[in-house]
Amino acid sequence: MLDAAGRAGAAWLAPALAPLAGSVWPEVAWRFSRLTRDGCPVELGFSTHTPAVRATLEVAGPECGAHARLDAACALLQALGLPSPDAPRVAAWRALQAGAALRWGSWVGLRHEAGKLRAKLYVELSPDHPPPWPGARTRMLGWDAATAGSEQYASLIAPDEASLRRLLAPLPARAPLLAVLSEVIGLPLPVALRWVSLGASVAEGPRIALFCRARAVRGGAAALRDRFARQPVYDRLLGPVADAALPDHGVLSFVPREEGTVEVRAGISAAALAG
């Protein structure tokens, strides 16, 4: 994975990979994860609005149980010299996970820009956890190490246009968000909502983002290329790749910005970029 990170200009990622590199099960350490479709424990993220490269990663090798990964995530943040959540907050999250049939436990997201490293901690919650709003199923929470703010992530259960507009009502610019969502998916919004699974995150602000799988996009990864190709790192890594050979672009994020535009983000397995 280090070669993919280096080619993406993400040499800063190497220290964060130390727990994976030191796994006692090296033969499976780079292909065990639920983070990506191919099992790679590192996903590199690209944005339509910024050249910064993001990375989401497993915090320990496969020998670490799902319920132990929250503590491993906090230890990783500390090892990287980044703020970590206080003990009462971690205890509360640990209590939420206790007894749940976890699938991945905890991930860490990193973003390096202008010489600064920022982190977000992702904590898996049981689907039985009370949903953050009606018509949703809880997935996880995210904690921003820089601001100590948190957000809730959920999948939307059979959303229609009316319920989606109610969810987005606090946003001053909800119309562009829905328009870009429909445009990227390649289907009219009412049709897309019948066929494409959506997720959402909600944080104070209010800040609301929508999510869908890139494979739901009409035309696949080739249809997404033009949106990300303006970013130098994306173009350097994937510009020479034929449309039919483009890797899965993971989960697409649709993030409204203050100036009224909508940022689109994609996550690509580092293994798919290692060639």
Quickly state the pLDDT bin for 95 (edges 50, 70, 90).
very high
pLDDT of residue 118: 95
Higher pLDDT, 122 or 226: 122
Please tell me the distance from the alpha carbon of residue 214 to that of residue 221, in angstroms, as a whole number. Answer: 7
Q: What are the distances in angstroms from CA 166 to CA 115, 159, 208, 244?
A: 39, 11, 12, 38
Kindly tell me if the per-residue pLDDT of 97 is higher than 80. Answer: yes
Kindly tell me if the per-residue pLDDT of 54 is higher than 90. Answer: yes
Please tell me the distance from the alpha carbon of residue 40 to that of residue 107, in angstroms, as a whole number. Answer: 13
Kindly tell me if the per-residue pLDDT of 9 is higher than 80. Answer: no
How many Cβ atoms sit within 10 Å of the Cβ of residue 23? 19
Quickly state the pLDDT bin for 172 (edges 50, 70, 90).
confident
Kindly tell me if the per-residue pLDDT of 2 is higher than 80. Answer: no
With 0-12 / 13-18 / 19 or more C-beta atoms within 10 angstroms meaning exposed / middle / buried, residue 47 is buried
139-148, 226-235, 260-269: least confident range = 226-235
Please tell me the distance from the alpha carbon of residue 263 to that of residue 180, in angstroms, as a whole number. Answer: 9
Tell me, what DSSP letter sits at residue 38? T
Of all residues in the chain, what percent carry a pLDDT higher than 90? 80
Higher pLDDT, 49 or 172: 49
pLDDT of residue 102: 96
Higher pLDDT, 83 or 4: 83
Please tell me the distance from the alpha carbon of residue 273 to that of residue 44, in angstroms, as a whole number. Answer: 9
| DSSP bridge partners of 251 | 213
pLDDT of residue 205: 76
Kindly tell me if the per-residue pLDDT of 4 is higher than 80. Answer: no
Quickly state the pLDDT bin for 245 (edges 50, 70, 90).
very high
β-strand pairing of 116-124 with 106-113: antiparallel
Helix (H) / strand (E) containing 87: helix 87-97
Kindly tell me if the per-residue pLDDT of 49 is higher than 70. Answer: yes
Write down the mean pLDDT value for the chain.
Answer: 93
Phi, psi dihedrals of residue 119, rounded to the nearest 5°: -135, 155
As a whole number of Å, the CA-based R_g of the chain is 18
Tell me, what DSSP letter sits at residue 132? S
Q: Do residues 56 and 17 make contact, with C-beta atoms less than 8 angstroms apart?
A: no
| DSSP of 179-240 | HHHHHHHTS-HHHHHHHS--EEEEETTTEEEEEEEGGGSTTHHHHHHHHHTTSHHHHHHHTT
User: For the residues 98-119, what does the mean pLDDT come to?
Assistant: 94
Of all residues in the chain, what percent carry a pLDDT higher than 70? 98
pLDDT of residue 1: 57
Beta strands in 131-189, from DSSP E residues, in sequence order: 136-144, 150-156
Please tell me the distance from the alpha carbon of residue 57 to that of residue 227, in angstroms, as a whole number. Answer: 24
- Distant-in-sequence, close-in-space partners of 226: CB < 8 Å, separation ≥ 6: none
Kindly tell me if the per-residue pLDDT of 275 is higher than 70. Answer: no
CA atoms within 13 A on the CB side of 177: 25
pLDDT of residue 164: 92
